Structure 1
């Protein structure tokens, strides 16, 4: 679907979508709306949709009280209306947005794209796959053009992340993920470098390579660079995404139901890749380097085992208590690399890391562990702009004691309590004094039960927008 943002309607003879507030006169078709309100067939209450198909086809959508309209409401109602258009097999429509708020317009654009999202490429039934071709979004002439460009880029980048997560693991494995990133780099304008097994070993990434050892699909270390601020080359934002393209749990094997969705264990990688697409699209004046340590966690005679002691690029030794606590083992080498080799001055790592985060926060909020109050405040502001909820977890010295090993420097499991905190602090052992944020999206990166009209079963694309706004405004 294409969205064209316009200020003057060129095609009148196509269906129209008219936003109506419950507490004010409609700016279009006021007489019809007033009649509907008087007869209580349509009141403008938020979420209402009324379809008229007489001399012309109209969809009135309820926006609620004018002063209470938000970007999130714009996102939700726009996702609903695009699904309504699909019911009536409407391929093109004019959508009149009576709003002068940049954030709300971005929310509307987001809702149209995400509400129209499907992942059905592997369905082979004879049914024709209906597609909405074009929405002409009619906005106020005072709104700046970059607002719509940014909204479209963010929505499309979120869809890129969703698609990556939803691809089955036999299609998306480390090498094919690296190839896809190369294609995206060419499309969006960021530099891509991919390291193979020999180069990864030369860097001393023993922790990462131990996780990768059990699979016949070799690992790929993917580096993306957007150097948008030549005047401040020493300031680099580093983004690190967990890239387990499949996770069986290794010898600490998961039960079958827990493995079915484990193609999603690269949701962190998808988020940083999507964010890089938007960052480059909008040519942000910021230096951003992104890395993904892509691999599979499988079982073989060569796989690492519970009880092993392994090394890391950062030089700290690790006692393996559970091979299903593997994501943090890949992330520590990736984080250490981005700080020491790419010279990142601030770092965010993002991962579908722990089941414990679902117990703590459910599927509503992303958990955050940080060593820097100011940097966390920047992320909080960015997530507010993105309408993506976060929650900071405590990270004091008492929790750090839980990951100390009797026979090595660290152990990769902190015990049955505070699992999300200890997992984050394990990664934090490798960042030194660099301002750092850890985001655990195990609860927010995937949904089996969509709650919003713009949700879709599978990957959510969460944090693409938050990371973009962090890069833009931090």
Structure 2
């Protein structure tokens, strides 16, 4: 989608849909054209429009001697219009334009100066692009997406120069999120570990970060027994994906680490999932998708930071070679693990990936993202990502980074008593902690391999996939995490 900032106040517009937002107090109508100002005044006088949040009126009226499609949308109270609410309104506008099969729209912000800032314009542009997203490559009849141009009229030529960079960043973030959505939405018979590695390499080549792919022999040389135990049941061999972005060469020792769970399909292994629980398991690489998308956005915007991301990509399948409940396996860190459930596989791959990125890539901080536990959905539903961390300061940074992305996070406790639940009688650790506190114990299992550096675990099991289309979220992969991770890295450069 082409998005522009415009200074137009009264010229005849070429956009097919004109959009005007109005606060409940109907402020600043006099700065609009006579036709629109009079039209809104009549609506108010006749109490046909109260400008409550989300209220809309669509009409065809004469504007500058040309009949135009006009959408009037209620903004509610100005003090209550936070960024998430604004996202909902922008999604409504984009969907309306597509419903009317229009190719261009113009959002007039002259009477709503509260909405003209670098941050707000970025929210508008980012949301418009994300709302237009559809994954229909395998459908004969494609979705009717007609809107390809959005003009934002801000009425101040100086602000256009100051805020144009917001549009570039918005596009980079939206495209990184769309990359993640595409990866999650691909079926597992297309996106196996080899193909995921290929897509990561393509993203690196396109956006400017280095990608190294390790095959099974190299993974084995590194001693990643936990990871390989999960992978060995599949005919599709694992790929260990390493992505490196050097944006701050003067501080090479300062490296931010990202780790994404990369199960391109998860049957549950011998602890077999029911069919209903297996249908969406192509999405079990949502963490990998997020870190690949984040790396694309980070490199595209040339952030002054050094970032390394890794993905231990594999499938969890059943065969004569598969690992079994009751097995004791090793790990790259040297810790032994008692396997009590082969469907608790993601934490095994992450254990080796986290140890690798700390010990071999020498990162100073690390965040892992994973569609890890059903318990995260039970605790927090589909709106909030569960977080476990060993650092108050690092978690606070995450919370700050998540706010402009409108990606909700919630920290769970990590008391020592919970660590007792993953101790094994016959090995160093066991891969499940029992029926209680499942999200916490899964996170703390990974934390055992984080050594003493600042570490965050994000369980995106509830937020990486949507069963329904709503606002700027389409059904399927959401791309959650991309924008929060980008903000973490960006804030880390300050």
TM-score of the aligned structures, taking structure 1 as reference length:
0.96
- Does structure 1 residue 101 correspond to structure 2 residue 148? no
- Does structure 1 residue 46 correspond to structure 2 residue 53? yes
The Cα of 1:103 is off from its aligned counterpart by 2.2
In the alignment, the residues of structure 2 paired with residue 131 and residue 296 of structure 1 have an alpha-carbon distance, to the nearest angstrom, of 38
1:400-419 pair list within 5 angstroms: 400-419=419-438
- Does structure 1 residue 426 correspond to structure 2 residue 426? no
Deviation track 1:12-41 (CA, whole Å, cap 9, x = no partner) reads: 132212222221133422222111222222
Name the structure 1 match of 2:21. 19
Q: Is the 8 A contact 1:71 1:106 kept in 2?
A: no
In structure 2, the CA distance between the partners of 1:128 and 1:277, relative to structure 1 (3 Å rule), is closer
3-state SS of 1:46 partner:
coil
In structure 2, the CA distance between the partners of 1:144 and 1:130, relative to structure 1 (3 Å rule), is closer
Structure 2 residue corresponding to 1:134, chosen from 142, 149, 154: 149
In the alignment, the residues of structure 1 paired with residue 123 and residue 143 of structure 2 have an alpha-carbon distance, to the nearest angstrom, of 30
Q: Is the 8 A contact 2:56 2:74 kept in 1?
A: yes
In the alignment, the residues of structure 1 paired with residue 5 and residue 301 of structure 2 have an alpha-carbon distance, to the nearest angstrom, of 17
The Cα of 1:466 is off from its aligned counterpart by 0.8
Single out whichever of 151-160 and 12-21 deviates more from structure 2: 12-21
Name the structure 1 match of 2:4. 4
In the alignment, the residues of structure 2 paired with residue 80 and residue 128 of structure 1 have an alpha-carbon distance, to the nearest angstrom, of 17
Structure 2 residue corresponding to 1:279, chosen from 272, 276, 298: 298
Single out whichever of 88-97 and 313-322 deviates more from structure 2: 88-97
Name the structure 2 match of 1:84. 96
Name the structure 2 match of 1:33. 40
In the alignment, the residues of structure 2 paired with residue 129 and residue 75 of structure 1 have an alpha-carbon distance, to the nearest angstrom, of 21
- Does structure 1 residue 473 correspond to structure 2 residue 476? no
3-state SS of 1:144 partner:
helix
Deviation track 1:350-385 (CA, whole Å, cap 9, x = no partner) reads: 000000111111112111111111111111111112
- Any gaps of 5 or more consecutive residues in structure 1? none
Q: Give the alignment's Cα RMSD to 1 decimal.
A: 1.6
Name the structure 2 match of 1:323. 342
In the alignment, the residues of structure 1 paired with residue 124 and residue 47 of structure 2 have an alpha-carbon distance, to the nearest angstrom, of 26
- Does structure 1 residue 74 correspond to structure 2 residue 76? no
In the alignment, the residues of structure 2 paired with residue 154 and residue 208 of structure 1 have an alpha-carbon distance, to the nearest angstrom, of 31
Name the structure 2 match of 1:347. 366
Structure 2 residue corresponding to 1:460, chosen from 478, 482, 489: 478
Q: Is the 8 A contact 1:102 1:147 kept in 2?
A: yes
Structure 1 residue corresponding to 2:71, chosen from 56, 59, 75: 59
For these two proteins, the number of residue pairs brought into alignment is 472
Single out whichever of 238-247 and 30-39 deviates more from structure 2: 30-39
Name the structure 1 match of 2:404. 385
- Does structure 1 residue 158 correspond to structure 2 residue 177? yes
In the alignment, the residues of structure 2 paired with residue 453 and residue 318 of structure 1 have an alpha-carbon distance, to the nearest angstrom, of 43
In the alignment, the residues of structure 2 paired with residue 385 and residue 453 of structure 1 have an alpha-carbon distance, to the nearest angstrom, of 17
In the alignment, the residues of structure 1 paired with residue 241 and residue 7 of structure 2 have an alpha-carbon distance, to the nearest angstrom, of 42
TM-score of the aligned structures, taking structure 2 as reference length:
0.93
Single out whichever of 104-113 and 234-243 deviates more from structure 2: 104-113
- Does structure 1 residue 184 correspond to structure 2 residue 203? yes
In structure 2, the CA distance between the partners of 1:11 and 1:430, relative to structure 1 (3 Å rule), is farther
Q: Is the 8 A contact 2:75 2:81 kept in 1?
A: yes
Name the structure 1 match of 2:250. 231
3-state SS of 1:434 partner:
coil
In the alignment, the residues of structure 2 paired with residue 379 and residue 204 of structure 1 have an alpha-carbon distance, to the nearest angstrom, of 32
Deviation track 1:425-464 (CA, whole Å, cap 9, x = no partner) reads: 00011111011000000011111134x4112111111111
- Does structure 1 residue 198 correspond to structure 2 residue 217? yes
Deviation track 1:107-158 (CA, whole Å, cap 9, x = no partner) reads: 2122212222211111114x77443222223335424222221112112211
In the alignment, the residues of structure 1 paired with residue 143 and residue 370 of structure 2 have an alpha-carbon distance, to the nearest angstrom, of 37
Single out whichever of 413-422 and 41-50 deviates more from structure 2: 41-50
Q: Is the 8 A contact 2:105 2:147 kept in 1?
A: no
Moved over 6 A (4+): none
In structure 2, the CA distance between the partners of 1:7 and 1:218, relative to structure 1 (3 Å rule), is farther
Name the structure 1 match of 2:64. none
